[in-house]
Structure 1
C-alpha cells in the first residue's frame, strides 16, 4: 500500500454524517481502512441465509443473539466502521451503545456475499483483515459465488491464522468461543 492509499479519505465523524444521509436513501455505506465502501442492499436469498444462521445459533446457543446489521467500530489503527450482516454476541451486548458499537463483546461476525462488483475486495480481503485486527474471534463468510462457507478464526497480529472451507451441504463447526455446528445444506437453494 502506498502512502497515498494509506491515508483515510476523511475523518470518521465526516463518514458518519454521510452514511446516515445515504441510509435514508436506501444505500448502505462502510468505512474500512480509511476508505468508503458501498454495500449492496440484500436480496431475499441473502436474508434467508441470515435467518438460517440465526436459527441455528438460537437453537444451539440460546445465551447468544445474532444481531443483524449491527454497526461496529472495527479497526485498531484507524476509526473504521462496518455493518456486518450479523454479529453474534451475548444477549444485551449492545444496550446503550450508539450506531457504531464497540466490537469487544462480538464472538463472531457473519457476512453473506452479494452479487456486486465490490464483493471480492470487501468481503474476502478488507473485512477479514479489519475483523482480525479488531480481535473478533470468528469471521463466517457465506460465499454464494463459490458455494462454500469460510470460517476464519484465531486472530493474531492482525490476521486470522486459521481458515476452514466447506462446500455448501457439509456441516461446519464454528470454533470456540462460538461452539456451534452449522448445517449448510439449505444454502444450496439460496444461490443464483
Structure 2
C-alpha cells in the first residue's frame, strides 16, 4: 500500500472515530486518545514551556522526515520554536528539537510488537520522549539518533526523573504521571 493511499483511508476512518496506523508495513487500528492521554500531553507541554520559554509543543503536527513512513510522520507532539510551522498538513522538521509519543492504555498496548512501538518514536535526527502507560507506567528518553535508530535509550518508571539531553535540556520529574496511567 502506498503512503498516499493509506492517508486517504485513514482520514476517512478518522471521521468515523477510528484511528489507523501504518507501521513497519502493517495496518493497525488504535483507540482514540482518552482524557489521561491529553493530561499527559498537557503536563509535558507545561514543563516544556516552564523550562524552555519560546518553544512550543505542537500537537499531532504532520512532519516531513527522511527515515520514517516514506517521508511522513505525525508524532503526538513536536517541540520546536514558536512560529516554526506555516500552513499545510506536512511541514519540514528542521526546527523540531524533540518528538513526544504517549501510548494509549488499551488491551493491545502490552501486546504490540516492540519494534512497532520503537518505530512510532523513531525520527530522523530528533530526540524523543515517550510516556508509556502500560505496565505501571514509564518515561523514556531517546537520543543520539544514528541511521534511524536511537543510540541512547533511558527508561525510568513514573516517579523517577527522566532527562532529555541537549538540545532540549529538560529534566522531567514524573511523579504526577502516575495519576494518568489508566
Q: Under TM normalisation by the shorter chain, which class is it? A: 0.7 to 0.9
Cα offset, 1:108, TM superposition: 1.1
2:84 alignment partner, SS class: coil
With over 3 angstroms needed to count, the CA separation of the structure-2 counterparts of 1:35 and 1:111, relative to structure 1, is: same
The answer on 1:185 being equivalent to 2:171 is no
The answer to whether the 8 Å contact 2:75/2:121 transfers is: no
Deviates more, 1:135-144 or 1:27-36: 27-36
Which of these residues, 64, 79, 102, is aligned with residue 112 of structure 1? 102
For 2:90 and 2:109, how far apart are their aligned partners in 1? 22
1:119 alignment partner, SS class: coil
Cα offset, 1:187, TM superposition: 0.5
Deviates more, 1:118-127 or 1:145-154: 118-127
Cα offset, 1:20, TM superposition: 1.6
Cα offset, 1:165, TM superposition: 1.3
For 1:168 and 1:125, how far apart are their aligned partners in 2? 22
The answer on 1:58 being equivalent to 2:45 is no
Name 2:39's counterpart in structure 1: 48
Name 1:139's counterpart in structure 2: 128
For 1:77 and 1:43, how far apart are their aligned partners in 2? 26
For 1:114 and 1:145, how far apart are their aligned partners in 2? 8
Runs of 4+ in 1 over 4 A off after TM superposition: 120-124
The TM-score normalised by the length of structure 2 is: 0.86
The TM-score normalised by the length of structure 1 is: 0.82
The answer to whether the 8 Å contact 1:63/1:91 transfers is: yes
The answer on 1:70 being equivalent to 2:52 is no
For 1:129 and 1:16, how far apart are their aligned partners in 2? 17
What's the CA shift string for 1:23-47, capped at 9, x where partnerless?
2112223333343333321111111
Q: What runs of 5+ residues in structure 1 fail to find an aligned partner? A: 1-9
Q: What runs of 5+ residues in structure 2 fail to find an aligned partner? A: none
Aligned-residue Cα RMSD (Å) equals 2.3
